[in-house]
Structure formats: C-alpha cells, structure tokens
Amino acid sequence: MLSLEGIHFQYHPLDPIVLSDLSLEIPAERVTAILGPNGTGKTTLLHILLGLLKPKQGTTWVAGKQHQDYSRRELSRLIGLVPQFESIPFNFSVYEYVLLGRSPHLNPFQLPGDEDHEIACQALETAGILHLAEKPVMEISGGERQLVHIARVFTQGTSILLLDEPTAHLDLQNQNRILSILKKMAAGGSTAVMTTHDPNAAIYAADYFVLMNKGQIAAKGSVEEVITPQNLSGIYQTPIRVEKVDGFTMVVMDQEGVL
C-alpha cells in the first residue's frame, strides 16, 4: 500500500542528513506506530509518505504507483494528514473547517455541494463532535481540536491516514478516544501511520512498530520484536523495563515513575 525504498533526505545540502538509506513497507489495513527520540526524523518520514517532501534519493510508492505519478488532487484523495499542531489564523466554525476536507474532490473554482455537506455532517457524527459544529475552532479544547482534525480526514475520505503525534498534549480520556477511533478505522479497512513519543499509546493502538534512531530504522515488526528493554534502553539511553500487566505489554521507566 505504502512503501519507501532506499530513502536519503536532507533539508538543505549543507544541513545534516535527516534520513539515510531508509526502506520501509507499511502494512495495509493496520495501524503502524513510528517511535523514536526527538529529532530522529519521524515527522520528516511522515511528510515523505505524504508526498510533501521529496527525497534526494530513493523511491516512494503508494497503491502500486510512485508518488510523483499522481496529481496533487489524486494523491490527496488517497492520503490524509492529521498534523501535530495547526495554527488557524481565522476563526472558522468547526463545521466550516471540517468541510474543507472535501477540497480534493472539488476543483479550485468549485463550491461544496449537498453531497459534500452531507459527508461533512456524517464525519462530525462519526468523530462524536456533531454538537461542536457551530463552535468557533479557536474556542474549543486541545482534545476537541484533535477530533476536529480527524473529522476533517474522514470528510476527505482517504484510505491512508498519517497522524503526527495524535495524542500529544491530550488527557487520558481524549487519548483513549483518538486511539480507539484509529483502531476502528483499521478494522474498517483503513491504513494508519502515527508517530508518537508514548510507547504505551503505540502498544494500545498499533499492530506494527517502527523504532527509529538517528535517521535510520533500528527495529521494525510486532510488539514483541520491537518493544524490548534492550531496544528501548539502548535508543533512549535510559533504563527501561517492559512488563506484562493483565496480559497487556507496558513500558515502564526503570527508576521512578511510569512512562
């Protein structure tokens, strides 16, 4: 569905290399979690998967064709993005904002029609935020904002979903809501890729794990293959334990406190 082969990337020829010789196949209809320390290239990788950044070397594939073989609009009907943070300079209502998800299905001079409005309403309902429709986007909470982003991707109707740290800054209830939605989407046939700093959130939602370090993939595979004390302690350079609690895998810092 989505794969990368021999990717090298740097933002500027004089800047340090961000990704080097990176190859990855994202399993279809699953949730993939990309983990790794700050500055290791997770968001860059996500932007390459989106087609926003073009690698210096290597090829990127989506649904059997290379990214560059799609038009901008075709690609945006296949892959949706939930950004980590989005500053919105104008106070759109939640509904107006979510409706923008229909853009890939309209040409630049077209207005959304009845069908587009219906799809936007359905998306708000699926994300559980229909009651927020008339509220100004600037005046809702961080958790609600993230649900609004997700509703916009539903409106976009893509089968591939990229999420940049979707649970960062959210309380436990909102984390749970977002991750449950992701799991449901994968069960319904969507492919999701999320970056995260929280291994427990990744374990809860994901089926496939990619652990990155210094612009390369350190480990990939199932939870047992990737989420090991050796892998995590080595990469994060801090003692980390992995324990089973009531059948669930949990990542715990070896000193004090729970990660």
Partner 1 sequence: MSLAVVGGVFLASIFIGRYPEPFWMPLRVLQEDPLARQLVLRLRLPRLITALLLGMVLSAAGTAMQMIFRNPLVEPGFLGVSQGAAFGAAVSILWLTRHPLIIELSATFFSLLALAGAYFLSTRIRYGGWVLRLILSGVAVSALFSAGVGVLKYLADPLTELPELTFWMLGGLYSVTWRDLLFALPFALLGIGVAFVMRWRVNLLSLNDETAFSLGATLGRERLLLLIATVSATAALTAISGIIGWIGLIIPHIARRIFGASAEKSLPAAMLLGGIFSMLADDLARTLLPGEIPLGILTSAIGAILFIYLMISMGIKVRSHE
Residues 152-171 that bind partner 1 (CB under 8 A): 156, 162
Asked if 111 touches partner 1 (CB under 8 A), the answer is yes
In the complex, the smallest distance separating the C-beta of residue 133 from partner 1, rounded to whole angstroms, is: 13
Cα(210)–Cα(212) distance, integer angstroms: 6
DSSP per-residue string spanning 119-150 = HHHHHHHHTT-GGGTTSBGGGS-HHHHHHHHH
- Give the position of tokens 């669930």: 248
Check if the beta carbon of residue 167 is closer than 8 Å to that of residue 179: yes
Q: Give the interface segment with partner 1, choosing from 25-33, 57-65, 72-80, 175-183 (CB under 8 A).
A: 72-80
In the complex, the smallest distance separating the C-beta of residue 104 from partner 1, rounded to whole angstroms, is: 4
Q: Give the interface segment with partner 1, choosing from 10-18, 106-114, 211-219, 220-228 (CB under 8 A).
A: 106-114
Q: Give the interface segment with partner 1, choosing from 25-33, 107-115, 201-209, 249-257 (CB under 8 A).
A: 107-115
CB within 8 A of 207, min separation 6: which ones? 27, 30, 31, 32, 186, 222
Asked if 50 touches partner 1 (CB under 8 A), the answer is yes
Counting Cβ atoms within 10 Å, is residue 25 exposed (0-12), middle (13-18) or buried (19+)? middle
Q: Which helix (H) or strand (E) is 76 found in, with range?
A: helix 72-76
Q: Give the interface segment with partner 1, choosing from 97-105, 172-180, 181-189, 197-205 (CB under 8 A).
A: 97-105
SS3 247: coil
Asked if 34 touches partner 1 (CB under 8 A), the answer is no
Q: Give the interface segment with partner 1, choosing from 14-22, 98-106, 119-127, 198-206 (CB under 8 A).
A: 98-106
Cα(44)–Cα(50) distance, integer angstroms: 10
Asked if 187 touches partner 1 (CB under 8 A), the answer is no
Asked if 60 touches partner 1 (CB under 8 A), the answer is no
Q: Which is nearer to partner 1, 83 or 234 (CB)?
A: 83
In the complex, the smallest distance separating the C-beta of residue 19 from partner 1, rounded to whole angstroms, is: 17
Q: Which is nearer to partner 1, 111 or 245 (CB)?
A: 111
Cα(49)–Cα(4) distance, integer angstroms: 8
Asked if 80 touches partner 1 (CB under 8 A), the answer is yes
Asked if 29 touches partner 1 (CB under 8 A), the answer is no
